[in-house]
Amino acid sequence: MKAASFNLWVLTFKDLLNCSCCTGKKMENNTTVCQDIARVVNLTAMPLNSVKEQVITIFLTMLICGIGIAGNVMVVLVVLRTKHMVTPTNCYLVSLAIADLIVLLAAGLPNISDVLAFWIYGYTGCLCITYLQYLGINVSSCSITAFTIERYIAICHSIKAQFICTVSRAKRIIAGIWIVTSLYCTMWFFLADTKETVYTNGVVVTCAYRVSRSLYMPIYFLDFTLFYVVPLIVSTVLYGLIARILFMSPLPSHLNDQAGGGSVHQSHSHSTNKANKGAVTARKQITKMLAVVVVLFALLWMPYRTLVVVNSYIDPPYHNTWFLLFCRMCIYTNSAINPIIYNLMSQKFRVAFKKLCRCSCHGREADYNVPIYYSVMKNSSHGSNEPVTEQEDLSGQTSNRFNLTEDDASALSSS
């Protein structure tokens, strides 16, 4: 009896090695062997997703990821192909769009194959996909924090913003974000691993974590603090200060002053006041749009973040299938919804999106039906180092000069 048991265990390990490629499918040639193994080790049947769960998951994932991938690609193309759209804030939005694309491609699309079968991408795919998921998530969080700080400087310290909030500086900051975050996320190459679970009717391969749950928690809370809690605290404080300046403080007195003494002076004063009021309106519009992006980031990530925190203190963890699906869909929606927000709240993006859809095959920048302004930074003729911003439309007509940051001047068309 002991010899028979020993031989059966030897056969068990041998056949497990032979069946390691059976990712959720029934073993055709070794069904009898696996059934004998199951009787010895008391295995259970392989858990399968219901047809209802598969249909809903595939439909929602394809819908959200399809819209998100198309929208984020359009954001990148619109900004890169249109000169007046290249502003510091839009540079951060391009970084956010690329990060969201990575999330949708690395987290959303593999979920479709995962719900139909099990992990089919192997060990290398497990490492790379896990790395890309966290890279996209963390870069998107850093990009949101970066454009929040940029907006704060542009509005609350407008004089310094003319020298600090530049496209070249924004590009350097974005490059630094991607480099630092890429290095930080390399730890997932050492934390992720594939695992095999034996069932009566096959072997299931999953992409899981190499370390135990207790060792993973400190790593998770570090990630949770750096890329969710801190960005939300910074954004809340800075947007509070921005709101105090834009929405609670009265407009500068010179905006309401009426110049006298002659029709020429009155006309010049009226034009200047109108331009300044347009700049304030543009600043409010940009700030509202970016604030909505931050609020949606906080709300759509909250279910998943809350679930992980709760599961850190309860045993067994809460793994309701439909709630997990809800958490995943919220994450995908967060990466897909930003282009929709730009289209709804920014006339500038809305017009650019329409032109891209109609004229993308021409490979050139078409004339717009509404005037769109951008800023050109020049040194004043008096030898001063202070930059002067020219407000121009695409036809080349130059209007009044006044001191603005690049984003504020370029957003005047949206007011």
Percent of the chain surpassing pLDDT 90 = 39
Q: Look-up: residue for tokens 């949708």?
A: 104
What is the residue range of 32's domain? Answer: 2-41
Instruction: Answer yes or no: do 381 and 250 share one domain.
Output: no
Instruction: Answer yes or no: do 162 and 282 share one domain.
Output: yes
Q: Quick check: 73 and 356 in contact, CB under 8 A? A: no
Range with the lowest mean pLDDT among 1-10, 124-133, 230-239, 270-279? 1-10
Question: What's the pLDDT tens digit per position in 227-241?
Answer: 999 999 999 999 999
- In this structure, which amino acid lies at residue 235? S
Question: What's the pLDDT tens digit per position in 33-45?
Answer: 455 544 445 567 7
**What residue spans of 29-103 are helical by DSSP H?**
31-41, 51-81, 88-103
Instruction: Answer yes or no: do 27 and 107 share one domain.
Output: no
Q: Is residue 330 part of a domain?
A: yes
Q: Is residue 321 part of a domain?
A: yes
Specify the number of domains making up the chain.
3
The pair of structure tokens assigned to 281 is: 């309106």
Instruction: Answer yes or no: do 234 and 207 share one domain.
Output: yes
Q: Is residue 117 part of a domain?
A: yes
Q: Is residue 24 part of a domain?
A: yes
Q: Is residue 64 part of a domain?
A: yes
The CATH code of the domain that includes 138 is 1.20.1070.10
Instruction: Answer yes or no: do 303 and 400 share one domain.
Output: no
Q: What CA–CA distance (Å, rounded) separates 229 from 240?
A: 17
The pair of structure tokens assigned to 49 is: 């997703």
Instruction: Answer yes or no: do 21 and 164 share one domain.
Output: no
Instruction: Answer yes or no: do 32 and 134 share one domain.
Output: no
Instruction: Answer yes or no: do 356 and 393 share one domain.
Output: no
Q: What is the pTM of this model?
A: 0.74
Question: What's the pLDDT tens digit per position in 312-356?
Answer: 888 788 888 899 999 999 999 999 999 999 999 988 898 888 888
Q: Is residue 154 part of a domain?
A: yes
3 state SS of 166 = coil
Instruction: Answer yes or no: do 329 and 226 share one domain.
Output: yes
Instruction: Answer yes or no: do 317 and 186 share one domain.
Output: yes
Q: Look-up: residue for tokens 């006044």?
A: 402
Instruction: Answer yes or no: do 283 and 302 share one domain.
Output: yes
Q: Is residue 367 part of a domain?
A: no
Q: What does residue 209 show for φ and ψ, rounded to 5 degrees?
A: -105, 145
Q: Is residue 46 part of a domain?
A: no
Instruction: Answer yes or no: do 203 and 321 share one domain.
Output: yes
Q: Quick check: 197 and 189 in contact, CB under 8 A? A: no
